[in-house]
A and B are shown apart, each in its own frame.
Chain A
Amino acid sequence: MGMVEAILLTIATAATPLLLAAIGELVSERSGVLNLGVEGMMVMGAVTGFAVAYTTGSPWLGAVAAIVVGALFSLLFGFLTLTLVTNQVATGLALTLLGLGLSGMIGERFIGLPGVKMETISIPFLSDLPLVGRLVFGQDPIFYISIALTAAVTWFLFRSRAGLTMRAVGDSHDSAHALGIKVIAIRYLAVMFGGACAGLAGAYLSLVYTPQWVENMTAGRGWIALALVVFASWRPWRVLAGAYLFGAVSIGQLHAQALGIGIPSQFLSALPYLATIVVLVLISRNRRLTMMNTPASLGRPFVPDR
């Protein structure tokens, strides 16, 4: 396996959690709900995934449990913002703070224990192809799920009636409500989908990327996923492109650290965060374009009149 292939493989592992979390958040935001709790849901997924996989020995059970916990955890956010109409920004922050706290508490006894790594799938013959073999046909299962999910969400949003309804809810909840669409129910589902995706993204970190539990192991990836949604102007395939771009930046800086190229490691570690800011600046510079792409009801509270 060549050096280039190895780097490309690791880029995919760094990009997959970002992609999963961002796709989930994209759906939530398309329905008009800004959930800033991605980091919290993700870290809950990470600790659940690790704990269940470690206890049962099955990474699959870990991943499923992480999805369930992510969705349930997002339900807390949904109840506050959708039923009690609290401020979405503040509630999202609360979810993140609570998630970081809870995961730290739950995960305390798992610190330093050897994790259970999810094995990669090797499709016979195809994965032996030069260069693209391992890359396309020899990845871990969640990688394939993330790609399939991107395609499925694209289809759902732009080709299905339910997706059209959901976008209508996100663009004008008052009109949608007037048409008899169940705005709040749809938003609940979208928020829970976001939570499930974030949970799986977290489990990917603790089951594939670095199979262990470390407190705060998401290290801001949830926030980067939020930035990716803006970067992608709420379009799934652009989220994928953005996730791989960020995967490349973080893997690039890791390789640069390993090579020891005279730049302090802390500066290299700061690169993904700085890159996020730069990308956000570039993308949001054009105020009109941003306005056009943003779901018009994003973050706005909705109380049905009857």
Chain B
Amino acid sequence: MRIELVKRPQQSALFAAISPFIAFAITLVAGAILFSLLGKAPLNGLYAYFVEPLTEVWSLHELAIKAAPLIMIGVGLSICFMSNNWNIGAEGQFVVGAIAGSILPVVFPDFQSPLVLPLMLLMGIAGGAAYAAIPALLKVRFNTNEILSSLMLVYVAQLFLDWLVRGPWRNPEGYNFPETRNFHASAVLPEVLPMSGRAHWGFVFAILAALILWFLVSRTLKGFEIRLLGQSPRAGRFAGFSSARMVFFAFLVAGGLAGLAGICEVSGAIGQLRPTISPGYGFAAIIVAFLGRLNPLGIIAAGLVLALSYLGGEAAQISIGVSDKTVRVFQGLLLFFVLACDTLIHYRVQIGKAPAVQPKAQSHEQPEAAHGHG
């Protein structure tokens, strides 16, 4: 048996719309297989993972809390990936944003005023953006591969945070635990609906960020520039767009949003800095961006799906006793299936021996996927 790809004359609108759903469905099937391998009833497993968390109000709040950073980072990354900038260091930008945003409540705990919170958010954005500017600068100035530099900076940021919370920023009244002092009341991001649960304003910011970037990408010239430079840098240059400026634009937007996500998580959900403040949101957001097909509105939905997988992992560990390590397996599988299903948008897949004859001119073109290539 051989598998042949035949390039479609144009993208399939149908598969562009449904490929994420197919991918999710296949992931569920793979999940069912995984559960039976682990000796659990597959349907019970899937129910505990993907349905149970949606049945209670408090867990919907938890869903919003987990979706907020995923959506914020995911929409930022979509700008990067669309413009062919491979920022995979969002986890580090998240951490640095959280650190920069925490300077006021941790170092100047006596400064308490309504100004503190907006300043913290701005400093978080600035911190994340500044950290993302490093790989951007290295890429533009020294031609350095941004994949590797941005990823390396993740480890550096995590180690720096570790040093801060065990060293200079450790809570003086904290019995030597590696954590900072608790944020005072005016440094805590308030809840949206305090009557019903603890979801904080981060989720609202995430939705706003997605809407703004959706408008930017689909309704403005900047959006055209982003996509053009991503798909064909040469054509972009002829149109008078600057690749170098786009590198900075994409990295600063993504870094700023990751930084905002970081400070929102720390100020809204955790309330202090700890050695680990993220269960891998920066990496899961890469999956979110692709599952949302790099469309900011799709990313809102994708962020909720990935948030559900985190919640489901916790729930399933308690209710049916599967390890929460399965979460990352699910997430990895999901990205695999998303990428595989995206093939259907550009190609028809023929399985069998006798391939259809295809006019040469068509299949000669280099397929350039919407998200370009390294």
Contacts and interface: CB of A to CB of B under 8 A. Distances in A.
Interface of A: 34, 36, 76, 80, 83-91, 93-95, 97-102, 104-105, 108, 219-220, 223, 226-227, 230, 264, 266-267, 269-270, 273-274, 276-277, 280-281, 284-285, 287, 290, 298-301, 303, 305-306
A230 B152 contact: no
Contact of A108 (B152, B156, B163, B323): B323
Contacts of A305: 358, 360, 363-364
B148 A91 contact: no
B7 A303 contact: yes
A80 B205 CA distance: 36
A223 B152 contact: yes
A80 B329 contact: no
Q: Is the interface of A mostly helix, strand, loop or mixed?
A: helix
A71 B146 CA distance: 27
Interface string B259-285: 000000000000000000000000100
Contact of A284 (B86, B143, B163, B373): B143
B106 interface: no
Interface of B: 3, 5, 7, 81, 86, 88, 138, 142-145, 147-149, 151-153, 155-156, 159-160, 162-163, 166-167, 283, 286-287, 290, 323, 325-333, 335-336, 339-340, 342-343, 347, 349, 355, 358, 360, 363-364, 366-367, 369, 371-374
Contacts of B342: 86
Nearest to B7: A303
Given A84-B5, A223-B151, A223-B152, A299 B328 contact: no
A87 B371 contact: yes
B321 to A, nearest CB: 12
B366 A300 contact: yes
Given A83-B3, A86-B343, A101-B327, 4 more contacts: A86-B339, A220-B155, A227-B148, A301-B367
Nearest to A230: B145
A102 B143 contact: no
A33 to B, nearest CB: 11
Given A97-B335, A223-B148, A290-B143, A85 B343 contact: yes
B225 to A, nearest CB: 21
Contact of B86 (A89, A101, A276): A89
11 contacts: A85-B5, A88-B373, A89-B147, A89-B374, A90-B335, A101-B327, A105-B326, A223-B151, A266-B162, A270-B159, A287-B143
Contacts of B369: 86-87, 301
A97 B328 contact: yes
A24 B22 CA distance: 34
B152 A90 contact: no
Contacts of B340: 80, 84, 86
Contacts of B325: 101, 104-105, 108
B152 A276 contact: yes
Contacts, number: 165
A273 B336 contact: no
Contacts of B371: 87, 90
Contact of A299 (B159, B333, B360, B374): B374
A306 B328 CA distance: 40
B8 to A, nearest CB: 12
A270 B358 CA distance: 54
B167 A264 contact: yes
Contacts of A84: 3, 5, 339-340, 343, 349
Contacts of B330: 101
A58 B78 CA distance: 47
A76 B339 CA distance: 12
Contacts of A76: 336
Given A101-B327, A267-B159, A305-B363, A80 B339 contact: yes
A91 B343 CA distance: 12
Given A80-B340, A300-B366, A97 B148 contact: no
Contact of A306 (B147, B162, B355): B355
Contacts of A101: 325-332
B328 A104 contact: yes
A266 B373 CA distance: 35
Contacts of B5: 83-85, 303
Contacts of B328: 97, 100-101, 104-105
B144 A284 contact: yes
B155 A270 contact: yes
A274 B151 CA distance: 11
A129 to B, nearest CB: 39
Contacts of B163: 264, 266-267
Given A84-B343, A89-B86, A97-B335, A273 B373 contact: no
A281 B159 contact: no
A93 B145 contact: no
B312 to A, nearest CB: 14
Contacts of A303: 5, 7, 347, 363, 367
A294 to B, nearest CB: 10
Given A87-B369, A285-B142, A98 B152 contact: no
In the complex, which of the residues B343, B347, B355 has the most CB atoms of chain A within 10 Å of its own CB atom? B343
Closest A-B pairs by Cβ, 9 of them: A98-B332, A101-B328, A266-B163, A94-B335, A101-B329, A105-B325, A299-B374, A89-B374, A266-B159
